[in-house]
Amino acid sequence: MAKTLTEKLSKNDWKYVLARVFLTTPNHKRYYRNTNVIGKENIPQKGPIIYAANHQNALMDAMAIVTTQKHQTIFVARADIFKKPFIIKILHFMRILPIYRKRDGGNSHDNNQETFEIVNQILRKGRVHGIMPEGLFNPYKRLGTLQKGIFRVALKAQEAYGTEGGVQIVPIGLNWQNPREFFKDVTIVYGKPIAVAEYFSLYQENPAKAYVKMQERLSEEMRRLMIDIRSETHYETIENVRETFGYEYAEATNRDPNNPKQRLEAEQDLVKKLDELSEKNDPKIQMLEQTLPAYKAGLEQLNIRSWLLRNEKIRWYNFLFDFAYLLFVFPISMLGSVIGFLPQRLMKKYEKAIKDPQFLSSTKYVVSILVRTLQNTVLLIVALTLVLAGNLFGNFFAFWATLLLLASLLGAERDRLLYVERCRKTAGKWRYCRQLRKKNPLLNELKAQRKQMLAVFS
């Protein structure tokens, strides 16, 4: 069995390519608002390669890698999902192998030998392996301790290459805006590859020491690519400050907050400063811990967002532009509501049935793929029927109208979600203007709190 599976995974599968092109990648672009990829030029053109990413979003971490690079990557996942034969076939098609943990019972070491041997063989054949070296799902924006399994696998495969060439480890930082929510942003950062050959001589002398050196190096490289909040005491405070003031901090430090790379750099800088304050138990971090909850409660009471408080007043022509846009896009939004109704309804239905929160996003994503694939198939059949009818009857207009309809249908659901966002922002601006006219004392209090907090890290 292992030999057959090894041979299968050692070759490119055209069915895998089709699935990625027509199912996974298009759905990924509709499921997430923005998928930002940084450092793609760091990916080696040829293997053997090991992708090493942080693990905040269960199976979606692997999907983020699959949809943003060209290699057919072999991953591992916890063995308890490999139960039913049908599921096993799907997972093998997706190039996912089982990895056993102590909690799964039995001898996890012996059970994993087959998987490790397959991975070793595919790496020696110049293929690509993806792994989450933390080992366990980690819901926090913090890099956990890296397990030594990745280094054992890498150095074992490097034996076929010696001290030159061979395996390269590409560190990856996965930065999810909100892992469990639909239509949020994700930023994927590919770092510079680490040549395993650099550690092979040390490995031959002292394997344990080589593992430790590689662990230190990879941890350092991965932290550079992600939001890494080291403080445990003030984790929630630092994360809330980052979410609330990250945009403004980027502007204050002369970075473009709409540029994913610069925004990430700004937020990393902000987190680092707050971590330092936490380590010193500085009174400023304690002030933030006390003030921020009251600030957010006040915003919730007025039903406005923090970014609105940057404006002393909002001009009337801003609303004129907003209303014109909303009126113009309204028909497309309604069309998107019809198209998006079924997948979003089913996602909410299955969301309630998920017992393990870490698989919430993954399950919703799978439901989204299945329903949207069915929808797209139906649309394609209808479009082809109309095109053929237009050709038969010589209706040139019908032919192009059908193509235009298809194009609009495929983008209508995304347009509707953007439309809803714009509606909420416009409504928020309207409520803010009302509070300004009423001279609500709570609004002045919130502005004072905001100024006080910004002074901590400006």
- The residue among 266 and 47 whose pLDDT is bigger is 266
The model's confidence at residue 108, banded by pLDDT at 50, 70 and 90, is low
Is 2-223 a domain of CATH 3.40.1130.10?
Answer: yes
% the chain with pLDDT above 90: 53
Residues whose CB falls within 8 Å of the CB of residue 378, separated by 6 or more in sequence, listed in order: none
State yes or no: pLDDT of 255 exceeds 70: yes
State yes or no: pLDDT of 69 exceeds 80: yes
Domain positions in the chain are 2-223, 316-448
Q: Is the Cβ–Cβ distance between 176 and 31 less than 8 Å?
A: no
The model's confidence at residue 92, banded by pLDDT at 50, 70 and 90, is confident
Q: What DSSP line would sit under 241-308, residue for residue?
A: HHHHHHHHHHHHTT--TTSHHHHHHHHHHHHHHHHHHHHTT-HHHHHHHHHHHHHHHHHHHHT--GGG
CA distance 130 to 133: 9
pTM above the 0.75 mark?
yes
Q: Is the Cβ–Cβ distance between 449 and 311 less than 8 Å?
A: no
- The residue among 108 and 301 whose pLDDT is bigger is 301
For 403, counting Cβ atoms within 10 Å of its Cβ (0-12 exposed, 13-18 middle, 19+ buried), the class is: middle
CA distance 413 to 280: 48
Mean pLDDT of 337-344: 79
State yes or no: pLDDT of 285 exceeds 90: yes
Mean pLDDT of 28-52: 91
CA distance 331 to 445: 41
Mean pLDDT of 281-294: 95
Q: C-alpha 250: how far from its chain's center? A: 21
Sequence-separated contacts (24+) of 81-87 with Cβ below 8 Å: none
Tokens representing residue 191 in the block: 């770092």
Tokens representing residue 221 in the block: 């490289």
CB atoms near residue 387 (< 10 Å): 18
